[in-house]
Amino acid sequence: MDYVKFQKVTLKNHPEFDEKWLQDRIADDPSILGLGDLILKDKERQQPRAGRLDLLLQDPDGSRRYEVEIQLGKTDESHIIRTIEYWDMERKRYPQYDHTAVLVAEDVTSRFLNVISLFNGFIPLIAIQLNCIRYQDHVSLVSTTVLDQMTLGLVDEDEEREVVDRSYWENVRGTKSTVALADVLLEMIRSFEPGFDFKYNKFYIGLVKDGQINNFAMFRPQKNGLRLEVKFAKSEELEQELNDAGLDLIDHDRWGRYRIRLSKDDLKKHNEFLKDLLQRSYAESTS
C-alpha cells in the first residue's frame, strides 16, 4: 500500500467549490458530517422573519432533528448566533422533536470554540470542522467533531439515586389512602404484564421489573389525591380522549409525560380506561 500526500483545499473564495457546492455535497450524503445515518428533511429552509437554514437533517426514526449551518473559512460571531437562532426557531415550531444545533466551518478557531463550549449543556450544540482535501483530480471531504453535544441526564436518572421506602410516601408526601390508589394502578399493570413492582424514590414512585427500571408510568401520591404520569408523545387525539373521559389532565410536561390528577372516585369510574391507557403506554415503551 503506497503513501499518498493529500493537499488541503481552502473553499473560501475558491472559484469552483463554494458554499453552495459544499451544501449540496452534505445534502446528497449527510453521513459526511459523521452524525450517523441521517436523512435530509429540507434545504434552504425559510425561517419566520429571518433568513434561511442551510440544512435540516433528521434521524431515520424521526425523533431528532439537526439544524445545520455552514460557513466557509473561520467561525465568526454572526455564524454562531445564526446557528443558535435557527435551532431555537425550529424547536419552538416543532416541539415534538429533539433538536440539535450543528455549526459547520472550515476552521473552528480556539477562541470561538471556547465561546461555543459555554453554551454546551444548556444548548445542544455540535461544532464540526469540515475540510476539503485534494489528490490529483479528485477531492473529498473530511469532518472532525471538535465539540460534541453534552448528553444531559434525564430527571429520572438523577432522582433514582434518592431511594426511600413506602412509609415516606404514606407519612411525608402522601397518605396511606393515596398510596393505596397507586396500588390499584399497579394491579392494573400486573393484569397485562405480571412482575412489575414499585421503586420508591424521593420525588416519585417508579416501576421496576426483574431488576430493570421501566418508568412508562410514574406515581406521585399527595395528601388529597394521586398524580399519575404516563409517557406518550404529545397527541391532540389522546388529549381529547382524556378530556372526553372527564379526567383532570394537568399538562404534557417537558419529559414527554401526560400528568393526570386522580381521586378514588376516578379509579372506580374510569377503571377500564386507565388500564387501557397504562397498557398503551407500556406498549410504546417496549416497541
Domain match, 273 and 163 both: yes
Q: For residues 70 and 104, is the Cβ–Cβ distance under 8 A?
A: yes
CATH of the domain at 267: 3.90.1150.20
Domain match, 211 and 282 both: yes
Q: What pLDDT does 120 receive? A: 61
pLDDT digits (tens, 9 = 90+) for 176-231: 999 999 999 999 999 999 999 999 998 899 999 998 999 999 999 999 999 999 99
The percent of residues above 90 in pLDDT, for the chain, comes to 46
Answer whether residue 255 is part of any domain.
yes
Q: What pLDDT does 7 receive? A: 83
Q: Residue 44: what are its φ and ψ, rounded to 5°? A: 50, 55
Q: What pLDDT does 114 receive? A: 72
Domain match, 135 and 76 both: yes
Per-residue confidence band for 158, with pLDDT thresholds at 50, 70 and 90: very low
Q: Which of 38-42, 156-160, 198-202 has the lowest mean pLDDT?
A: 156-160
Answer whether residue 243 is part of any domain.
yes
Domain match, 44 and 119 both: yes
Q: What pLDDT does 47 receive? A: 85
pLDDT digits (tens, 9 = 90+) for 249-278: 998 887 789 999 999 999 999 999 999 999
Indicate the pTM of the whole model. Answer: 0.53
Running DSSP on this structure, what letter comes out for residue 30? G
- The label of the residue with cell 473561520 reads 74
CATH of the domain at 21: 3.40.1350.10
Choose one of 147, 166, 194: the last residue of a domain.
147
Q: What pLDDT does 157 receive? A: 47
Distance CA 50, CA 84 (A): 13
Per-residue confidence band for 149, with pLDDT thresholds at 50, 70 and 90: low
Domain match, 104 and 19 both: yes
Choose one of 147, 167, 201: the last residue of a domain.
147
- The label of the residue with cell 407519612 reads 171
Distance CA 90, CA 68 (A): 11
Q: Mention every residue, 6+ apart, whose C-beta is less than 8 A from residue 129.
A: 105, 106, 107, 108, 143, 144, 146
Answer whether residue 188 is part of any domain.
yes
**Integer CA distances (angstroms), 49 to 78, 143, 187, 227, 261, in order:** 17, 32, 53, 41, 40
Domain match, 103 and 61 both: yes
Which ranges constitute the DSSP H helices of the chain?
Answer: 19-28, 77-93, 110-119, 155-159, 166-168, 176-192, 236-245, 264-269, 271-286
What is the mean pLDDT of the segment spanning 8-34? 86
Is a pLDDT exceeding 90 seen at residue 117?
Answer: no
Distance CA 82, CA 86 (A): 6
**129, containing H or E segment:** strand 125-135
Domain match, 280 and 163 both: yes
Answer whether residue 49 is part of any domain.
yes
Of 36 and 231, the structure prediction assigns the larger pLDDT to: 231
**Looking only at Cα atoms, what is the longest distance across the chain?**
79
Q: For residues 265 and 247, is the Cβ–Cβ distance under 8 A?
A: no
Q: For residues 108 and 133, is the Cβ–Cβ distance under 8 A?
A: no
Distance CA 184, CA 62 (A): 35
The one-letter amino acid at 260: I
Domain match, 170 and 141 both: no
Answer whether residue 184 is part of any domain.
yes
Answer whether residue 2 is part of any domain.
no
Q: Which domain holds residue 57?
A: 7-147
Answer whether residue 1 is part of any domain.
no
Q: What pLDDT does 282 receive? A: 95
Domain match, 86 and 215 both: no
What is the mean pLDDT of the segment spanning 112-133? 78
Domain match, 128 and 189 both: no
Answer whether residue 77 is part of any domain.
yes
Choose one of 147, 175, 196: the last residue of a domain.
147
The structural domain count of the chain equals 2
Domain match, 176 and 210 both: yes
